[in-house]
Structure 1
């Protein structure tokens, strides 16, 4: 009888302990619930890659620091490159030929630059149209004051269709007015460039 009473007392003590003493979480380090990824300044814009702009692009996570120092000659961004073997932008149609894409090193004068982060820039083609230069995997940005500087870019040139939504987004990044953005009403065939590295020449 004493044994049964002792066993019952121990059992009651265990149940009270379990009920009254809070247990520690299984893993207090991991957050609970669905996690929302923090994207760049436009969650509708994908990481770099093959440069095909037929789909909306998305900038991943925080990316590199957005405070890129002012442009200065000799500065490189991304992979270290040299001007040797670079083709003038005016010769791009000949260098690309009938191909949809080609790995090239080009030199030209930077025009528009993304004023949100420096996550893209444009170089003028032979016919005066802008060729948008993006940076592979958003691994680096360029200075927002790069416009007017001669640069060398190394990477892949592509012929692609840029959706209207992307064109409007780029116009907003470039500081265009709401009227200018609203005037963009259709997709556009463009030359685009996915750069691995950028060198400021002057």
Structure 2
């Protein structure tokens, strides 16, 4: 009888310890994000892959209100007034900020980011592409080789979270 009670007691203790360990594993530390623009949450953000799929359904002139999470590729090194975000498959979204109302830190490349706003496709005309090439200091031969408009994945963010 004592053996059965001891065995039962040991089983209860081991089961309780196992649940305690599961609870500890579930409580990983939350990432801390800096907020830029409107206050948004990271909840229910699409992944980069899901966002790329959404972009593939858009046509020029379409807009989509959406929130997604990914990694920052590049940031404007003059003011932090734009950034490019990784969408996978060598695709990226070019992000500007609503009403030019806020900027992001210029040293946030490769950090996790959540953006909320409007996704759209825009076709950049040849003249504008040539202008950007001139601004980048490209050769005249490179500028002259631009002969077709370019379809670009763009995003106008009203709120941005950047992992600290």
Check whether the contact 2:36–2:160 (CA below 8 A) recurs between aligned residues: yes
Q: TM-score, normalised by structure 2?
A: 0.66
**2:80 & 2:141 partners in 1: Cα distance?**
19
Structure 1 residue aligned with 2:16? none
Normalized per residue, the structure richer in strand is 2
- Please give the per-residue CA displacement for 1:31-82, whole angstroms capped at 9, x wherever unaligned: xxxxxxxxxxxxxxxxxxxxxxxxxxxxxxxxxxxxxxxxxx5211100111
Report the Cα distance in structure 1 between the residues aligned to 2:116 and 2:47, rounded to whole angstroms: 12
Residue 104 of structure 1 corresponds to which residue in structure 2?
66
Alpha-carbon deviations, 1:57-115, whole Å to 9, x = none?
xxxxxxxxxxxxxxxx5211100111101111111133356343211101111011111
Unaligned runs of 5+ in 1: 1-72
Aligned partner (choices 109, 114, 117) of residue 152 of structure 1: 114
Long gaps (5+) in structure 2? 1-31
> Does 1:178 find its partner at 2:134?
no
Query: 1:112, 1:147 within 8 Å by CA — same for their partners in 2?
Result: yes
Distance 1:201 1:170 in 2: 30
Q: 2:80 aligns with which of 89, 103, 118?
A: 118
Aligned partner of 2:96 in structure 1 is 134
SS at match of 2:74: coil
Bigger-Rg structure (1/2): 1
Q: Which has the higher contact order (CA 8 A, sep 6+)?
A: 2
User: Are the aligned partners of 2:55 and 2:153 in contact in 1 as well (CA < 8 Å)?
Assistant: no
Aligned residues: CA RMSD: 2.7
In structure 2, the partner of 1:74 is 33
The structure-2 alpha-carbon separation of the partners of 1:88 and 1:168, relative to structure 1 and needing over 3 Å to count, comes to farther
